[in-house]
């Protein structure tokens, strides 16, 4: 999956915005103001940091060489996923969905209600 396909997939999700809050080359995707994905525009190979359930994060790292502990993130809750490697588009989309869903599940009741209204 290339960066444009990744970006389009993220932006199709309800309540998602994109921004450059850290610098001009770190693209961040948020749902209701909470980060669920980020990538460096100049990183090669193309990789994305995605939130992940801690137990699943370890399992994914053990099984896929393209998935490593989150670069510059909490190693417990974030994975860095190489999108240019051998992972299927289906799995990449599943990992994006999982990250988004984790963040949504942690939203306040008020934010969940606002998201449902979108």
| pLDDT given for residue 99 in this prediction | 98
- How many structural domains does the chain have? 1
70-115 pLDDT, tens digit per residue, is 988 888 899 999 999 799 999 999 999 999 999 999 999 999 999 9
49-79 pLDDT, tens digit per residue, is 999 999 999 999 999 999 999 988 888 899 9
CATH number at residue 35: 3.90.1150.30
d(CA 105, CA 66): 26
Q: Cα-flanking dihedrals φ and ψ of residue 32, to 5°?
A: 50, 40
| Coil, helix or strand at residue 81 | strand
d(CA 47, CA 67): 9
| pLDDT given for residue 33 in this prediction | 97
| pLDDT given for residue 75 in this prediction | 85
> Range of 93's domain?
3-117
| pLDDT given for residue 53 in this prediction | 96
Q: pTM for this one? A: 0.95
Contact predicate 105/28, CB 8 Å: no
């Amino acid at each position: 999956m290339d960066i444009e396909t990744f970006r389009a997939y993220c932006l199709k999700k309800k309540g998602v915005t994109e921004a450059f809050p850290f610098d001009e080359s770190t693209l961040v995707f948020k749902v209701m103001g909470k980060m669920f994905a980020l990538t460096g525009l100049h990183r090669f190979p193309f990789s994305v940091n995605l939130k992940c359930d801690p137990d699943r994060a370890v399992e994914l790292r053990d099984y896929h060489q393209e998935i490593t502990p989150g670069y510059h993130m909490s190693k417990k809750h974030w994975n860095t996923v190489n999108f240019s490697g051998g992972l299927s588009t289906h799995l990449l989309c599943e990992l994006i969905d999982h990250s988004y869903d984790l963040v949504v599940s942690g939203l306040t009741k008020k934010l969940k209600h606002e998201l449902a209204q979108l």
